[in-house]
Amino acid sequence: GGDPRYKRMMKNRESAARSRARRQVPPLFLSVYGSLLIPILHLLESNYYCFINNKTLRVSISLINKISKNYYQRQKFESYYVDFLVAFTHRKRGAVSHYMFSLFARLDLFVYEISLDMCVYLFFFFFFW
């Protein structure tokens, strides 16, 4: 069979057969990975929710850290305030000035949280000492 027309006809038949086979059988990708698509989508969805939860947890942890830090600083500030009142009532000049300095060094943290009695004490300290 050295007939070129015959060879071309056979090639066309084989090509047509391959084309029909491709159309009938689903692609290899889908046949192999199709059963995994739904679990993959579920995993992607849960990954997204984990990412969001991670973000919210990080924000809440930073807020808790800020609150606890402020609480610790407030406790320290209030202990200085008590020491100042003790020194003020016993008229110890050196101690009063030391605690006044310590209080004013921390005042920027608690400007809005100073109690009324502290304002009264500070007023009396400055004007009647």
> What average pLDDT does the chain have?
72
Q: What percent of the chain has pLDDT over 70?
A: 44
Which of 10-14, 56-60, 95-99 bottoms out in mean pLDDT, i.e. has the lowest?
95-99
Band of residue 72 on the pLDDT scale cut at 50, 70, 90: low
Alpha helices in 25-92 (DSSP H): 28-33, 37-89
Q: What percent of the chain has pLDDT over 90?
A: 6
Q: Cβ–Cβ contacts within 10 Å for residue 119, how many?
A: 10
Please tell me the distance from the alpha carbon of residue 126 to that of residue 3, in angstroms, as a whole number.
120
What does the pLDDT look like over 101-119, one tens digit per residue? 666 555 555 544 555 566 6
Please tell me the distance from the alpha carbon of residue 29 to that of residue 41, in angstroms, as a whole number.
16
Query: How much is the average pLDDT of 27-32?
Result: 65
What does the pLDDT look like over 13-24, one tens digit per residue? 999 998 888 777
pLDDT of residue 15: 93
Place of tokens 């020194």: 87
Place of tokens 């943290």: 109
Per-residue pLDDT at 80 exceeds 60: yes
Band of residue 47 on the pLDDT scale cut at 50, 70, 90: confident
By 3-state DSSP, what share of the chain in percent is helix, strand and coil, each rounded to 5? 90, 0, 10
Instruction: Please state whether the predicted TM-score (pTM) of the whole model is above 0.85.
Output: no
With 0-12 / 13-18 / 19 or more C-beta atoms within 10 angstroms meaning exposed / middle / buried, residue 121 is: middle
Consecutive H or E run containing 35: none
